[in-house]
A and B are shown apart, each in its own frame.
Chain A
Amino acid sequence: MTEGEPQKGNTLEIAGIRIAWSFDQKQSRSINHPLVLDARSGTTLRVHNRPPPPFPQKEMTFDSGQTWALFRSGGKLILQNTSLHSEFRPSRFLFLAPDLKSGDLYVTGDAPQEVDPLGYPLNQVLWIILLAQGRGLLFHACGIDDDGKGFLFLGNSGDGKSTSAKLWFDHGMAVLNDDRIIVREKDGEFWMHGTPWHGDFGEHSSHGLPIHKLFFLRHGRKNSSQAKSGAEAVSMLLTRSFAPFWDKEGMAFTIEFCQRLASQIPCYELTFVPDGRILDFVRNA
């Protein structure tokens, strides 16, 4: 961790979206947390160290097949940390109110971590859900702060995001994150923000800055770039994002967001050789 820890007290703020939590009374005594909620928070959670109340029926919304599932029950959106088909029982359930402004987190087994009681992957999925409300999008991407110029490198696993992060870091530039970057709009500009959810390269920062250029990464035998635009660029953005594929309204916003991003920021497909020459190549693209 290099700077700007996003966690502070009973809140977690990432890319300007803040959640706050309080532990239920029995637990708050045991871990010495007061029941004080942060009025600036977008979502306030109450954390219970016990199994959830029974829910009658599940209306499936999305199942990742492995680490999480989302469903509706009793008017609430419920997120659990296993697939509905998993042989393992979930140890975390997040019940969200329809307006997403409040919720209850039920934790069994290990006590919830004070800095982030949601844990992986519920923390990331909650941000995906909140971003889909017209706020932005989480990308599979590496973000670099090149002395105030933001370069966003998008790619799926193995495309070179962590390699790129290390190269730029070794040349003195700040790495926002090598695997997960949130993009939001601010005053007509697209900003990229670091997240705590890094990949192989551990250095990261929670700060944000405007995006100068964005690149779709590919390993190659030489450094080369090709401009991308229109539907092709939008499609490449979508396939490198964590889009709310279960949410029609959220998906409509997401496509439109990618369209505006691709029309405002120069986009390139970048093949690169992993050595220092790529830095000037990117700067001059």
Chain B
Amino acid sequence: MVDFLDKVYKRSDAIVFRKIGIECILVPIRQGVGDLESIYTLNETAARIWELLDGTAKGIEIRDKMIEEFDVTPEEAEKDLVHHLRELASIQAIIEE
């Protein structure tokens, strides 16, 4: 967990995204049909994390923003953040700076 909090991530250029209400849709730009069903919808928390991944903020700073903006404990914020960062990393939507 500490790893994610210490690192800085940015959004991949190979992702097209759009905020829709409180959610966000991500579509990877790709060169083949293998993963045509890969259209991702981020919930409110994940969408806010996505917005904050600007390539300058460390994970721990994003966690602190989440504590400020959402009604969550530091532990809950950290758990959510790490979960969403792992998910985003697994689909190559974010890149470590």
Contacts and interface: CB of A to CB of B under 8 A. Distances in A.
Given A65-B34, A245-B36, A231 B25 contact: yes
Interface residues of B, number: 20
B16 A248 contact: yes
A245 B41 contact: no
Given A255-B16, A256-B18, A259-B18, A235 B30 contact: no
A100 interface: no
Interface size class of A (residues with CB under 8 A): 20 to 34
Interface string B74-86: 0000000000000
Nearest to A156: B37
Interface string B1-36: 000000000000010101011011101111111101
Contact of A235 (B21, B25, B29, B33): B25
Interface string A201-239: 000000000000000000000000000001110110011
Contacts of A252: 16, 18
A235 B18 contact: no
A281 interface: no
A64 interface: yes
Given A230-B21, A239-B39, A65 B29 contact: no
Contacts of B18: 234, 252, 255-256, 259
Contact of A239 (B23, B34, B37): B37
A120 interface: no
Interface in A43-74: 60-65
Given A231-B41, A238-B39, A248 B29 contact: yes
Nearest to B18: A255
Nearest to B20: A231
A251 B21 contact: no
A252 B29 CA distance: 10
Contacts of B39: 235, 238-239
Give me the 6 closest cross-chain CB pairs, A-B, nearest first. Answer: A231-B23, A231-B20, A251-B16, A255-B18, A230-B21, A231-B41
18 contacts: A61-B31, A63-B31, A65-B32, A230-B23, A231-B20, A231-B25, A231-B41, A232-B41, A234-B18, A234-B20, A235-B39, A238-B27, A243-B27, A245-B28, A246-B29, A247-B29, A252-B18, A255-B16
Interface of B: 14, 16, 18, 20-21, 23-25, 27-34, 36-37, 39, 41
